A = this chain, B = another copy of it.
Amino acid sequence: MDLLSALSLGELALSFSRVPLFPVFDLSYFIVSILYLKYEPGAVELSRRHPIASWLCAMLHCFGSYILADLLLGEPLIDYFSNNSSVLLASAVWYLIFFCPLDLFYKCVCFLPIKLIFVAMKEVVRVRKIAVGIHHAHHHYHHGWFVMIATGWVKGSGVALMSNVEQLLRGVWKPETNELLHMSFPTKASLYGAVLFTLQQTRWLPVSKASLVFSFTMFMVSCKVFLTATHSHGSPFDVLESYICPVLFGATLGADHHHDNHGGHGGAHGGSPGAAHSPLPSKLKEELSEGSRKKKAKKAD
């Protein structure tokens, strides 16, 4: 990593970290976020019948990360809405995506090569948000490791962590699932990224912030573009988790197919109180994994 900063890559990272996000990158963030809102079942019908509710959902998709971080840090929830230009830009994107004549705008941004560019740019914004969020939390709580990680996480995940609330605004209620129970790739990556940036901020990770932003952005961009291009819903963390989770927690995160791991340490608990408390584990697992599959099939951000 020190080598990397010695090379011209270090300078590249530094100038990359100085590129302003507004308006081009923010625009991409808004476009991709509202695109995923439009993919939700019933969202188009909602925009026709209840434009105000639809607009509010679009704002949550665009600014959910700020709202959640403000909530955690005790700042005004509505603080970010004082950036009139951002809100107007997001509103314009919402209007164009839902109400553009002949659906031209939607068709353009859904064209895969264009969409991939926007997806890549969205990840640039996401990583920058994580870094800024952790810097901000560090300013308030110098030794608050958990505060920093939590702030970075919600800044990266955004509306996903408040999906139940966002659905409720649209009159949809799915209490049996939420982002914590079925984490998508960006949510997990934001969590791991928040841990990395917190380590960097507290000087346990001996790299410059610019290098970390640059390399984590490259990782996120390549993963997300690959996943979007292949319509895949896997996660590059699956392999790692399938090794670590059985050791730490006696089972993999939401995976039922790692039966080879169910011996020794992990298996010792599998048969204990878990079985006593859940008399129908196999049926439940089946249902849960089905729910997970459905959820994944419809979610792609």
User: A residues within 8 Å of B by Cβ?
Assistant: 38, 41-45, 47-53, 56, 70-79, 81-82, 84, 87, 99, 101-103, 106, 140-141, 143-147, 150-151, 164, 168-173, 175-178, 180-181, 183, 191, 245, 248-251, 253-254, 265, 268-270, 272-274, 276-278, 281, 284, 288
Contacts and interface: CB of A to CB of B under 8 A. Distances in A.
B278 A44 contact: yes
A106 B274 CA distance: 12
A223 to B, nearest CB: 20
Contact of A75 (B41, B74, B99): B74
Q: Specify how many copies of this chain sit in the oligomer.
A: 3
Nearest to A56: B180
A202 to B, nearest CB: 11
Given A103-B272, A103-B273, A171-B181, A81 B150 contact: yes
A281 B45 CA distance: 8
Main secondary structure, interface of A, reads helix
A273 B79 contact: no
Given A48-B250, A143-B84, A248-B51, A173 B171 contact: no
A254 B49 contact: yes
B48 A181 contact: no
Contact of A74 (B45, B74, B144, B253): B74
